[in-house]
Amino acid sequence: MLTPEDLAQLDNIYVRKDDCNDRHADTAREISELTISQAKINTQLGMLIKINAAELGAVGTAIIAAIMKLILK
């Protein structure tokens, strides 16, 4: 039979079920928060890409118009 000293030594070696469940819950919560943060960043990045594409189109059109104006003079 296990003595109280043996039980104390086992407590130091093995993790209790509740402690393990708490760690898993904390890890799941952190992963959920990271997933939400990643989704927000992806949305912002998508908007920035669209804005930059529109700016590039406007600048490209202005450059082509300026070149055509010089050529057709």
Q: Is residue 27 part of a domain?
A: yes
Q: Is residue 51 part of a domain?
A: yes
- Split into its structural domains, the chain has a count of 1
Read off the DSSP letter of residue 72: T
Rounded Cα gap, residues 57 and 46, in angstroms: 17
Rounded Cα gap, residues 65 and 3, in angstroms: 90
Residue range 12-40, pLDDT digits in tens: 666 677 777 888 999 999 999 999 999 99
Q: Is residue 1 part of a domain?
A: no
- The residue type found at 47 is M
Q: Is residue 52 part of a domain?
A: yes
Rounded Cα gap, residues 53 and 59, in angstroms: 10
Q: Is residue 2 part of a domain?
A: no
Q: Is residue 61 part of a domain?
A: yes
User: pLDDT-derived band of residue 11, with 50, 70 and 90 as boundaries?
Assistant: low
Domain membership of residue 59 as a residue range: 7-71
